[in-house]
Chains A and B, each alone.
Chain A
Amino acid sequence: MSKRKFKYVGTRPIRPDGVEKVTGRANYGADIMLPGMLHGAIARSEHAHARIVRIDTSAAEAMDGVRAVLTGADFPDIPNQWMGDDEGGIDFGAIAQNCMARDRVLYHGHALAAVAATTTAIAQEACRRIEVEYEVLPAVMDLDTALSPDATILHPEAHVRDGQPSNIATKIVYEGGELDDAFTQADVIVEREFKTPMVHQGYIEPHGCTVRFNEDGKYTIWCSTQGAFGVQMFAAMVLGLDPNLIKCVPTEIGGGFGGKTTIYLEPVAMLLARHTGRPVRMVMTREEVFRASGPTSGGQVRVKIGAKRDGTFVAGDCEITLEAGAFRGSPAGAAAMTALSSYRFPSYRIQSYDVVVNKPKVAAYRAPGAPISNFAVESCIDELSRELEIDPIELRLQNAVEEGDRAPYGPVFKQIGLRETLEQARAHPHYSAPLGENQGRGIACGFWFNAGLQSSAIVSVNADGSAIVRTGNPDIGGSRASMAIMVAEEIGIPVERVRPMVGDTESVGYTDLTGGSRVTFATGMAVIEASQKVVLQLRERAAIIWGVEVDDVRWEDGVAYGLNAAADQDPMPLHVVAPQLRTTGGPVVASAQVSPPAAGPGFATHICDIEVDPETGRSQVVRYTTVQDAGKAVHPSYVEGQMQGGAAQGIGWALNEEYVWDEDGKVENPGFLDYRMPVASDLPMIDTVIVEVPNPIHPYGVRGVGETPIVPPLATVANAMRSATGVRFEQLPMSPPRVLAATDETGS
């Protein structure tokens, strides 16, 4: 596998979706227009926690142009039932209640009514005229309040601990060795407690969908999503429908990062379309995206690590507490499983809590949970390196996991590349470059599992020798390009001769979401297998033309070769075979489906140089390098883009991003002016080094790459800040006021 010489894999062809996107022709979620279409809007809660006493929609219904007004009473009751275990799962009742509140609102911005009207302006005005009488309840806005003995309990019927209703939905524990004894063996112990805020994925395109309802009871949903089959199933569960009645067509997607793996608007638009008999489009405003879609958890993490004087880690202890938002389901499991997995800890304990609070229900965000726990652990390792006076890369190399080591969550690692990323980082000119005044350097590592899941693909050959590949994954990170490359590699035609397409739920076999860094890995496996079946059919056609057995035909680089030396058989390229498909058996089409194990662990090491203005506390990342094991980079430009994008998001998380809440539980900064994400002028060009340690379970050696790069930056930047200012920041973001206050306090 690793010795295979590739012709197209590893090249950088022009992206197939580029022209449509740069010319504005690509259709995103809000771009679908249908004849007679109505426009939907949602009325949202004015309180973070309240009982709905009464909703009066009469004024809204009386408006000219209003065609339908719905409340929670119009939706079916879907019982709460957790389908999963302590570490992960799904509750369709909670999803239904998150799409439309029933008797209680659980966060400011919670949907409580919806309107369909002839214009968006009328729909929004109608929403304003809906009168709601609330019985306001105490809001639980932070973890300390949620866990206090006299806390208001959000779901007293659902979560019980030690016989008492609790806001703790789940507790997860991993432990091994003899922890207390191990700490007594340590020469140096670092123990710290860290806090990170709730942050949003910040995708450019808001949630949007258009729904058409037909008289035969069937719905068609066009929407911006990371998984059309997920939308189909979720919408069916929320509305109590047969999934067969729902067709989902994924549009182009302007970013998701995990935030578009669930539904918000779709079932609402479906009911509005059914009530009015007209197509209905719904699009969130940016403010609604911040108030009512799923960010990732705020968290608290306590870490204690012990090491011998020579740098050998002997024990690690983590306690992780994450905000789930209004309903159970923070990434407490993944945060726990990744926390200590980059290093060998003979004794360890990881406890992780999923806690409900009166904030929006969290959604996935790129390596969910891992950046939070990693920030705490890698910050402590940086402190250890200082106390031990061991170079931070050397200390990590000394303890880095490698093939054969057991992860705290159980399995033994196969071939992995953490050590290689550390060695490449140490050898990179960045690591030894001199620093300027007020500058500091930090490094950190990170780990993410990467998912496998189910995928299918269809590959066909046209009469002109070109090919089409259809998969079920919305293209977020360049999957169409990588699918085309893999078809080109197997069939042996230029990438530009392969047209990659994203299918809907009726035009391709079931395919799990675009997420978990799984698409190039898993869907790619289906594409490779389908392409290999196509090649077999092409050999059969060449055999028919030559009048020989298929075993007498070899296919290489797009050309059929006869193996019978006695016969007069000139090599026959695809463009000669393809026009003869009609007379040799008809079209050449093949499909394949896979359900592989996880995509192979991904590790990365990042280096950051930061400069801090001592007068204002403002910081500037002046140099940043990411080193990551991609297994095999199919389209290196996209891999580098993922590495840069993850680093940029992590830098924003570290330095500026946070939800700011007022005392009533309302988000005060629901827009990009006040929710400060990094823009191009904030960051240097982020350097990338792709390490390729082949993944043994993929035919090309591919690993997932999309999520790992957001895991190290929080700690990398914090460690650079520690170096620049002498202050260990235990709370994010390290925004100018916080940096200035800390440096003033310490006199740094």
Chain B
Amino acid sequence: MARIIFSSAQRDWVDGAETLEIDAKRVADLLNALYERFPALAGRLDHAAVAIDGDIYNDARFQPLRTDSEVHFMGQVAGGQ
């Protein structure tokens, strides 16, 4: 089960949960499960960057998840060098 850790702002959309465990093989599956369970969250994480086990992806929709993956949704960061 992938473990999602929500930021304090995101908790407003998931009934205050700090973490959730969801059975998902990839980020898209995890998002679908989250949106189904928390309709108020629907679409809000579509543009978020996703940190999977510490690696941050800007486009993570089809990234695979391990059974013990830790997942964060966060702001996209590019930069300006």
Which A residues are closer than 8 A to B by beta carbons? 83-89, 172-176, 201, 256-259, 261, 333-334, 337, 363-368, 409-414, 448-454, 476-477, 512-518, 595, 597-598, 642, 697, 704, 706-707
Contact = CB atoms under 8 A, between A and B. Distances in A.
Contacts of A172: 9, 75
A364 B81 CA distance: 8
A452 B55 CA distance: 10
Interface in B29-79: 44-45, 47-48, 51-59, 70, 72, 74-79
Contact of A597 (B8, B9, B55, B75): B55
Contacts of A84: 47, 76
A514 B80 CA distance: 8
A333 B79 contact: no
A476 B79 CA distance: 14
Contacts of B51: 410-411
A410 B77 CA distance: 14
14 contacts: A84-B76, A85-B47, A174-B7, A174-B9, A176-B8, A256-B80, A337-B75, A409-B72, A411-B55, A414-B54, A452-B56, A453-B58, A476-B81, A704-B79
Contact of A174 (B8, B52, B59): B8
Report which residue of B5, B72, B75, B76 has the largest number of chain A beta carbons within 10 angstroms of its beta carbon. B75
A688 B51 CA distance: 32
Contact of A449 (B5, B9, B79): B79
What secondary structure prevails in chain B residues at the interface with A? loop
A720 to B, nearest CB: 25
B80 A365 contact: yes
Contact of B75 (A86, A366, A452, A707): A86
Contacts of A707: 79-81
Nearest to A705: B81
Contacts of A174: 7-9
B49 to A, nearest CB: 8
B74 to A, nearest CB: 5
Contacts of A598: 55-58, 77
Contact of B78 (A365, A413, A451): A451
Contact of B58 (A85, A451, A706): A451
Q: How large is the interface on B (under 10, 10 to 19, 20 to 34, 35 or more residues)?
A: 20 to 34
A411 B59 contact: no
Which 5 pairs of residues, A with B, have the shortest CB-CB distance? A258-B80, A87-B75, A364-B80, A706-B81, A410-B72
A411 B51 CA distance: 6
Contacts of B54: 411-414
> Counting chain A CB atoms within 10 Å of each CB, which of B45, B48, B53, B54 scores highest?
B54
Contacts of B56: 411, 449, 452, 597-598
Contacts of B5: 410
A518 B44 CA distance: 27
Nearest to A334: B77
Nearest to B18: A176
A477 B80 contact: no
A173 B77 contact: no
Nearest to A83: B47
A477 B13 CA distance: 42
Contacts of B72: 409-411
A635 B75 CA distance: 31
Given A83-B47, A85-B47, A410 B80 contact: no
B80 A259 contact: yes
Given A85-B75, A365-B80, 7 more contacts: A87-B76, A174-B8, A176-B8, A256-B80, A261-B78, A598-B58, A707-B80
A333 B55 CA distance: 18
